Structure 1
């Protein structure tokens, strides 16, 4: 049984709207995370709970309000437009939000239908569970259900709901909403809540800001190490906990390009692969602006507050670069990557970009001797390899074993799973979830999943599903 203790629901009423999920006609389980359910105490929940038709004892459903910069443009009031926070489960592993995504209209729906269709639900389930298995801080997927209703997008599609689990759903945009309202009291309450929930060791507002920046530096470096492109790094999609949240038009790079963009709505490449660290820095600057009034109280003047926050913010590139070196150092088998090793990694990436070589298979191939096979300019790789062999650790393979997955959620495979599901066959989705739960250990029978897309399988654009 889930033990609920709903701390967010005890915050002032202007933080949310109490609202129950809208019922659906015929809930049907598609994917279920039994291991996670056991950790949460939700093993006895069935499709009717995951669809929102039955509210479990102790839950206190609500929709959170927040704002955000979306592709750089300011939106003063967003919020959970198609999601409901059932409540917070308290377990021996910590406190976790249980969130129904696609649960119907809320006061923040902005003329949307509040629903999701099966495609984005399957994508988020598959990708978020892979990210967890790969060691990336992330929201997780507990269940995916069909609703028995149709939702209208370009065409009528089967409705679905994802049950998402997170350390919390508090975003940079949550702080921005109250700052825009000039509600300093709410910003202060929110900061205290975030500190208590996520960063209890942080001292004061500045310590909280430092902790959030460090968490984001670690997160983005891990994204980069997997060739992950989030696609919508809006401030309302940046969780202050340091978890990856909101898998919309995301994708993993096949043929490497630092300018890789997949999102159909990112026409200017704002959130391209290579831009993600600088966008994180920009988003964190927006958070810093929200904290100025709190620091002003602590330090006595606005000028001092801005200087102190700016000093912390300006450390982000250094924090990120240190994390990037650690991540990519491990990917090439270095136990203690130093600044002098950065050109070695960058030169390999440049060679991969020149050839459009497969990101995952080249790095995985460094440990099994197949990296050269994935490149066109093999003589250039041989010259690079001589430098690498002179630098790598004696036990380089051990360092690389947990840094380079054998298999990733290839976008074309996810699309194939979605199309099969639309035809009533969920077997590929189930297979992807199974294989990607152990991405560093691949059975021979699943080696077909490491292959990049054939020319007629390439998926050039991904979509958010709203």
Structure 2
């Protein structure tokens, strides 16, 4: 059966300098690594048996109805503003409207240079492609809003980074690729017409209830608050929370030097390019407030009375810290078995996190063990843990089914850094079996199935990953 993608490309129909039209650059010898058939079915895509899937998902052939574009945007990168960024190695093939009526982008990543490549080669190497495939699909299984992976393809070409490496292309699915940086670009350009076009498109797509720019800001804030609280609850560190990596849809996007914590440390940084801890684990809540303030600034030119708008937008941004504290408490109280948290429950959450930090406890395993009643074995100071656990048990007397609450909040397995690195090394040597095994094992992260016990092991000393790297 021939691949059939029901395209309906609304962004490519917009007027103004929002994108460049161009086709992906063909590659030498594409070969399919993975095709996400359940996701394809969800999107209304048929033709998983098409022998030319590798050609389609490498950009060598265009599916019928595709209108490839590269989007332009700006962004604050580690606090410094870059007035023009954009899709430097990606081509948005188009959009599909799924059988349930939801709209999704389909994008090739690593598909060749564009006008926004900034002297880059427009390609991706195999490691980051497989990392994003594994981690984004694991995040989906964890119930965290995220872009997803539809396909991964080897290009049959080598690309040069520090050394020659095998090239690859990821097909990414997103509710959209509209970022805070899109609005920043047109605000910086003084192009109010394009800014308004983008606003109207974004609110129709992501916040149909939003009548004003302030409404759109408020809707985006709520999504990002929920997203970051979910990240924190599973020990996830994005690594590059630049405004060009922050979406209006509230989905996690751009899995570059991302990582999940092993032992708990609120100051944990993995990203090799985050030298000062700007995007450390605990800093992510502050950064999302900063990012939303940048979105607010970019929306202000759409208001007739800009002076009044500044006050209104500032007041809205000032509500975010309380929103984040409430969302954080909701997620972490659930990890303790508390379905409806009270303000004083923050001390209980802080108590176990403090014990975990002081003792170097594994983040995921400690909360999973708490679910099973064996967390005492995960904490170094057992006397202090016993005192804390007594307080928890007293609090849980008011809960109707604390264990069910914990089971739903505490994953048993996560994509651990050392397992991802081992998978990448194997794939680089031509062995894709570890990739497929890891992907399958992460599909049901809340299950206590003993078959996946190998995923629960923290790294041995020689396996510890201290730095993760951007794939550009």
TM superposition score normalised by structure 1: 0.98
Secondary structure (helix, strand or coil) at the match of 1:53 reads coil
Q: How does 1:29-428 map to 2 (within 5 A)?
A: 29-44=32-47, 46-93=53-100, 94-295=102-303, 297=304, 301-392=305-396, 393-428=399-434
State how far apart, in whole Å, the 2-side matches of 1:302 and 1:21 are. 41
State how far apart, in whole Å, the 2-side matches of 1:8 and 1:394 are. 48
TM-aligned CA deviation for residue 326 of structure 1: 1.1
TM-aligned CA deviation for residue 407 of structure 1: 0.2
TM-aligned CA deviation for residue 264 of structure 1: 0.3
State how far apart, in whole Å, the 1-side matches of 2:144 and 2:461 are. 30
TM-aligned CA deviation for residue 185 of structure 1: 1.4
State how far apart, in whole Å, the 2-side matches of 1:440 and 1:162 are. 27
- Indicate conservation of the 8 Å contact 2:187/2:301, yes or no: no
Match of 1:452 in 2: 458
- Indicate conservation of the 8 Å contact 1:136/1:222, yes or no: yes
State how far apart, in whole Å, the 1-side matches of 2:434 and 2:384 are. 38
Alignment match of 1:432 (pick from 413, 435, 438) = 438
Cα offsets for 1:282-315 (capped at 9, x unmatched): 01101100111222x2xxx222111111111111
After TM superposition, the structure 1 stretch with the greater mean CA deviation from structure 2, 250-259 or 422-431, is 422-431
State how far apart, in whole Å, the 2-side matches of 1:37 and 1:150 are. 29
Cα offsets for 1:317-336 (capped at 9, x unmatched): 11111111111111111010
Secondary structure (helix, strand or coil) at the match of 1:248 reads coil
State how far apart, in whole Å, the 2-side matches of 1:169 and 1:218 are. 19
- Indicate conservation of the 8 Å contact 1:435/1:442, yes or no: no
Aligned length: 462
TM-aligned CA deviation for residue 380 of structure 1: 1.0
State how far apart, in whole Å, the 2-side matches of 1:204 and 1:111 are. 38
TM-aligned CA deviation for residue 40 of structure 1: 1.8
TM-aligned CA deviation for residue 43 of structure 1: 3.6
State how far apart, in whole Å, the 2-side matches of 1:414 and 1:161 are. 18
The unaligned stretches of length 5 or more in structure 2 are: none
State how far apart, in whole Å, the 1-side matches of 2:317 and 2:456 are. 39
Root-mean-square deviation (Å): 0.9
Secondary structure (helix, strand or coil) at the match of 2:17 reads helix
- Indicate conservation of the 8 Å contact 2:113/2:122, yes or no: yes
- Indicate conservation of the 8 Å contact 1:344/1:388, yes or no: yes
Secondary structure (helix, strand or coil) at the match of 1:136 reads coil
Cα offsets for 1:65-102 (capped at 9, x unmatched): 00001001111110000000000011123100000000
- Indicate conservation of the 8 Å contact 2:44/2:99, yes or no: no
State how far apart, in whole Å, the 1-side matches of 2:338 and 2:57 are. 44
TM superposition score normalised by structure 2: 0.97
After TM superposition, the structure 1 stretch with the greater mean CA deviation from structure 2, 412-421 or 395-404, is 395-404
Match of 1:441 in 2: 447
- Indicate conservation of the 8 Å contact 2:75/2:184, yes or no: yes
Runs of 4+ aligned structure 1 residues displaced above 2 Å come to none
State how far apart, in whole Å, the 2-side matches of 1:248 and 1:140 are. 14
